[in-house]
Amino acid sequence: MRTLPLLLGLTVSLLGCIRDSGNNGSTPNPSNANARVGNNDPRSIDDQPDWEAQARELKQRVDPRMPDPLPTDKQAACEAMLDEALAFYMAVETDPDQRTKRMAEMQETREADLEGCLRETSVAAAICVKLLLGERDSEFPWLLDQCSRAYPNQAGGGPTAPKAEALELAFVGDIIFGRYREDNVFDPIVEGSEEALAALPGPFAEFGPALSADVLVGNLETPVIESLPLKSPIGAQYRFGGDREMVRMLGAAGFDVLSLANNHYFDLREDGQLQSPKILSEEGILPIGASRTEGALYRVETFEEQGWRIGFLAVTNRINAPVREGTPQVPYIELNDMVDTLGPILAAARADHDLLLVVVHWGDEYAEQPNVYQQKTARALIDGGADMLIGHHPHVLQ
């Protein structure tokens, strides 16, 4: 419990039902040849196996192995599922020509398959498929059908997820827990024995009213790892860090979504890049804009609240280490490239989300207003499909 974050926030209230995506659930139609492995059983349609009963049995078998808490990053879950499907057929297809053909087909349909998963498949179903494919349980289409039945997608404002008429979102700027000083030793904002720290009021207590929203979003301006090193692993002037205990304080304060795309992403080197999203997910917070070694660098990450589907596209225009091939990549983007690069991603995600937000780390520190290039870019992204653009980095309200 050793932090006094830099908090700059604003709150917006969103009223009404923006749109109905028309999503009626995640379960593929079992009569569709692409939905599952073909059934060669000669029995009539009235004498087919009880697919729902089989799905219930599968759920009982898989439930004990599901992660707790369940991750909230649907795109990551879908990409992991598709990667496992590719690995499955690489392993089980013995004919080299057929294997090559299968790989080419799956690569060709990858983008469409990913869009379908994001639209129709729950996170739990994608994890279920990946788990069972890894065990060589059955083929991909069959597992997708059964896991989708076992873990249906509840998004879209159906009867089990009614959409609230109003939803309040709050946004917080840069959050840090402490820094490595000139002597290269970490200096936490609050320190003491575990007993003494436990007796202190939460570091966010004074901000309670400002942070009370249905969805609380912030910029985590520091990587977090399980155990902070005694000395900073980099030589920059400003070097931040945090650990799981600090993330738990963020969860207790009500944070739902935290961006990792900023100019301190490399403060704890690759350990920080890779551990940060894992720790956040395990503590029930959706990480957005995390560094990746594979998969889409620029992507919409979905958070669901009270029947609303909120998509976040997080990027940074500021970094503190050069982008190197073969290392985890932060979603860094030049200002001049934002509209052309992010516009198509927003357009593709528009129909599947009630709200689309671009979260970007950019601008000039202590500038009282965004510069003209930022303003033009923000307007173009909103015209291209975003509902809001949330910026941070200047350390002041603009």
Tokens of 339: 């509209």
The pLDDT-based confidence of 41 (bands split at 50, 70, 90) is very low
Q: Find the DSSP H helices in 289-365.
A: 338-349
pLDDT for 54: 86
pLDDT score, position 47: 52
When pLDDT is averaged across residues 268-286 and rounded to a whole number, the result is 86
Q: How confident is the model at residue 93 (pLDDT cuts 50, 70, 90)?
A: confident
Cα separation of 348 and 357, whole Å?
14
**For residue 45, pLDDT beyond 70:** no
CATH architecture designation of domain 9-17+162-392? 4-Layer Sandwich (3.60)
Q: What pLDDT sits at residue 188? A: 66
Residue entry with tokens 């692993």: 233
Rounded Cα distance, 39 and 62, in Å = 24
Structure token pair of residue 72: 């909230």
Helix (H, G, I), strand (E, B) or coil at 15: strand
Binned at pLDDT 50, 70 and 90, residue 158 comes out as: very low
Buried b (16+ CB within 10 A) or exposed e, 44-74: eeeeeeeeeeebeebbeebeeeeeeeebbbb
pLDDT tier for residue 190 given thresholds of 50, 70 and 90: low
Q: How far apart are CA 187 and CA 191, in angstroms?
A: 9
Spatial CB neighbours of 72, under 8 Å, sequence gap ≥ 6: 123, 281, 284, 286, 302, 303, 304
Stretch among 22-31, 282-291, 380-389 having the lowest mean pLDDT: 22-31
pLDDT tens for residues 322-354? 777 778 888 999 999 999 999 999 999 998 899
b/e burial code for range 130-143 (CB count within 10 A of at least 16 → b): bbbbeeebbebbbb
Tell me the average pLDDT of the chain. 80
Spell out the long-range contacts of 152-155 with Cβ–Cβ below 8 A and sequence spacing 24 or more.
Answer: 152/25, 152/26, 152/27, 152/122, 152/125, 153/23, 153/25, 153/26, 153/120, 153/121, 153/122, 153/125, 154/122, 155/21, 155/23, 155/122, 155/304, 155/309
d(CA 134, CA 115): 22
**Position 123 pLDDT exceeds 80:** yes
CA distance 31 to 38: 9
Asked whether residue 196 carries a pLDDT value surpassing 50, the answer given is no
Instruction: Give the model's pLDDT for residue 321.
Output: 75
Mean pLDDT of 35-62: 63
Mean local confidence (pLDDT), 116-132 = 93
| DSSP code of residue 342 | H
Distance CA 134, CA 118 (A): 21
Q: What is the pLDDT of residue 259?
A: 95
DSSP helix/strand/coil, 329: strand
pLDDT at res. 306: 92
Please say if the pLDDT value at position 235 is more than 70. Answer: no
Q: What is the pLDDT of residue 48?
A: 56
Confidence of residue 261 (pLDDT cuts 50, 70, 90): very high
Could you tell me which residues come within 8 angstroms of residue 86 by beta carbon, excluding any fewer than 6 positions away? 103, 106, 107
Assigned token pair, 270: 């690759």
**Phi, psi at residue 341, to the nearest 5°?**
-85, -45
Contact by Cβ (8 Å): 363, 374 = yes
d(CA 280, CA 217): 13
At 31, the pLDDT band (50, 70, 90 cuts) reads: very low
Mean pLDDT of 7-29: 37
- Closest by CA to 314, choosing from 245, 371, 265, is 265
Could you give the CA distance from residue 5 to residue 175 in angstroms, rounded to a whole number? 5
Q: At residue 36, does pLDDT exceed 50?
A: no
- Residue range(s) occupied by CATH 3.60.21 in the chain: 9-17+162-392
Q: What are phi and psi of 160, to 5 degrees?
A: -90, -5
270 has a pLDDT exceeding 50? yes
